[in-house]
Amino acid sequence: MDFILHDKETIAEMLTSIGVNSLEELFQDIPADLLLKKLNLPHGLSEPDLLRRLEELSHKNKIYSSSFLGAGCYYHYIPSLVDFVISLSGFYTAYTPYQAEASQGYLQAIYEYQTAITRLTQMDVTNASMYDGSTALAEAAIMATVATQKKKLILLEGIHPEYVEVVKTYCWGQDIHFEIVMEDTLISKLDESVAAVLFQSPNFFGDIENVTELVQIIRDKAPKCLVVQVMTDPTCLGVLKPPGKFDIDIFVAEGQSFGISPSFGGPGLGIFASKQKYLRKMPGRLIGKTNEIDGEREGFILTLQTREQHIRREKATSNICTNQALCALASLIYLVSLGKTGLQEIALQNFQKSHYVKQKLATIPGYQILNKKPTYNEFLVKCPNVNELIEQCKQENLLPPLIISKYFPDMKDIVLVCVTESNSREDIEKFIHAAQKASNKNIGGN
């Protein structure tokens, strides 16, 4: 298979126009000993053969009838029009809209994305996207250190462990120090040297923090310290009070829940929003509304580009260039498709269904819900026999919850259960049944 258009005669004609005798002559600058003799790869495949090969390979992955696994990647129903819109050629085969006048469609769509996220979060400004939630958090951390001219960060326990690792990698790159602290020791760690406190809510274990209280503690003890919130499933904002109402300085989130398929964890979407006063410190692209120079009409354009690497090089606020534009578009289509009514209802169903499972599990001997705070669609459960629960789920064709010791080896016999609107009552009953069987087996002597 290839996508070349020239026949032999055309190639010969073009070589003549160029003034060379062969294709080889076009590579005359490459020293002879560097020219590759042969690429040791298989022959190409036709489309049907390729499809068959990849289908076979994909079948080595398992698809389940329903999932109780979240932990940073979620199953929510995706309206069909999301994929339809992002598959339109004008969107998916375009590039960064450097030539605004020939890119008004995409620019308007991303402006609408910025608007949708700004309204949802009640933050002042939203950028055109980052790679994912974890890198958005790392960039927020760096931005906070630049805005405050301080090099110390506090991460509150409960941030997604892989996000913490990414923040750690980025911080090491710039000699930024950070400490992970428990909530009850936060006050004692706060002082004037702290650039920002980063926290996740709902956190990795499912807890919804009392953000009002948390922000108050930080403001009282360290007034100049920035407060950064991260979220891994922002569908909860259909019901929960948005970060802008809590005086959050920078809000970041993984936007995969908004109309993006799990796809083995990527591509996702890094949502990045902040207060107006930090606008010029923000990483990433921004789309702005403007007017024609000599006309009446309004239009959209990439703006505040002097923050960006292609203009400022090493003085840029970030090195990001390509972002996740098509994923931002997908999330916009998701948000406008669900609308106010849909998004509220989805969040309600997540609250209600996970609450239902929580209540049911708590009645089965040996299970204990560990969350003391309110939760959204994830919660921690101590199990009588974790491995048996996983096994029983698989037998019911359910994707089992996360065994939390994968990330926290000290937390034994605990799973992180995720229940969303995508789990039907039947799926839920199967899950409860699996838990029941795992409990019986244990009690039966195992």
Partner 1 sequence: MTSNLTLIFNKGTKRSQHNFIPEMDIDKVDLLKIIPSSFQREDLPLPDIPEVKIVRHYTELSRKNYGIDSGIYPLGSCTMKYNPKINEVITRLPAFFQIHPLQEENQGALELIHQLSELLIEITGMDGFTFQPAAGAHGELTGILIMKKYFENKNLKKNKILIPDSAHGTNPSSAKMAGFSIIEVRSNDAGEIPLDHIEFAMQQGDVAGIMLTNPNTLGIFDRQIKDITNIIHKYGGLCYYDGANLNPMLGICRPGDMGFDIIHLNFHKTFSTPHGGGGPGSGPVGVIKELVPYLPGPHIIATEQEFVCREKTNNSIGRIKCFWGNFGVIVRAYAYILALGAEGLKRVGQMAVLNANYLRVLLKEKYHLPYDRICQHEFVLSDRGIPNEVTTEDIAKRILDYGLYAPTIYFPLIVKGALMIEPTETESKASLDNFVNVMNKIYNEAKTAPELLKNAPHNTPVKRLDAVLAARNPILHD
Question: Which residue lies nearer to partner 1 by CB, 77 or 408?
Answer: 77
Question: Which residue lies nearer to partner 1 by CB, 219 or 245?
Answer: 245
Q: CB under 8 Å to 270, separation ≥6 — which residues?
A: 129, 130, 131, 132, 133, 135, 136, 139, 252, 253, 254, 255, 323, 324
Q: How far is the CB of 260 from partner 1 (least distance, A)?
A: 9
Q: How far is the CB of 383 from partner 1 (least distance, A)?
A: 17
Q: How far is the CB of 423 from partner 1 (least distance, A)?
A: 9
Question: Which residue lies nearer to partner 1 by CB, 111 or 367?
Answer: 111
Give the pairing of strands 226-231 and 194-200.
Answer: parallel
Decide: 262 and 75 in contact? Cβ < 8 Å.
yes
Q: How far is CA 47 from the centre of its chain?
A: 32
Q: How far is the CB of 443 from partner 1 (least distance, A)?
A: 26
Q: CB under 8 Å to 373, separation ≥6 — which residues?
A: 207, 208, 209, 210
If one counts every other C-beta atom within 10 angstroms of the C-beta of residue 377, the result is 28
Question: Which residue lies nearer to partner 1 by CB, 41 or 184?
Answer: 41
Question: Which residue lies nearer to partner 1 by CB, 88 or 443?
Answer: 88
Task: Tell me the β-bridge partners of 112.
Answer: none
Q: How far is the CB of 156 from partner 1 (least distance, A)?
A: 18
Q: How far is the CB of 446 from partner 1 (least distance, A)?
A: 22
Question: Which residue lies nearer to partner 1 by CB, 41 or 223?
Answer: 41
What is the dihedral angle through the alpha carbons of 406, 410, 413, 417, rounded to the nearest 10 degrees? -50
Sort 79 into a burial class: Cβ within 10 Å, 0-12 / 13-18 / 19+: middle
Q: What is the full DSSP assignment across 133-163? A: HHHHHHHHHHHHHHHHT--EEEEETTS-HHH
Please report which helix (H) or strand (E) contains residue 218, including its range: helix 211-221
3-state secondary structure of 73: coil
Question: Which residue lies nearer to partner 1 by CB, 184 or 314?
Answer: 314
- Give the long-range contacts of residues 200-203, CB within 8 A, separation 24 or more: 200/156, 200/158, 200/159, 200/160, 200/163, 200/229, 200/230, 200/231, 200/232, 201/158, 201/229, 201/231, 202/231, 202/232, 202/233, 202/236, 202/375, 202/376, 202/378, 203/156, 203/158, 203/159
Q: How far is the CB of 192 from partner 1 (least distance, A)?
A: 24
Q: How far is the CB of 52 from partner 1 (least distance, A)?
A: 11
Q: How far is the CB of 230 from partner 1 (least distance, A)?
A: 11
Residues in the chain: 446
**Cα–Cα distance between 261 and 179 in angstroms, integer?**
34
Decide: 26 and 20 in contact? Cβ < 8 Å.
yes
Question: Which residue lies nearer to partner 1 by CB, 371 or 442?
Answer: 371
Q: How far is the CB of 444 from partner 1 (least distance, A)?
A: 26
Structure tokens given for 185: 């020791």
Question: Which residue lies nearer to partner 1 by CB, 34 or 188?
Answer: 34
Q: Phi then psi for 67, rounded to 5 degrees?
A: -120, 140
Question: Which residue lies nearer to partner 1 by CB, 85 or 218?
Answer: 85
**Cα–Cα distance between 190 and 152 in angstroms, integer?**
10
Question: Which residue lies nearer to partner 1 by CB, 38 or 445?
Answer: 38
Decide: 272 and 125 in contact? Cβ < 8 Å.
no
Q: How far is the CB of 149 from partner 1 (least distance, A)?
A: 16
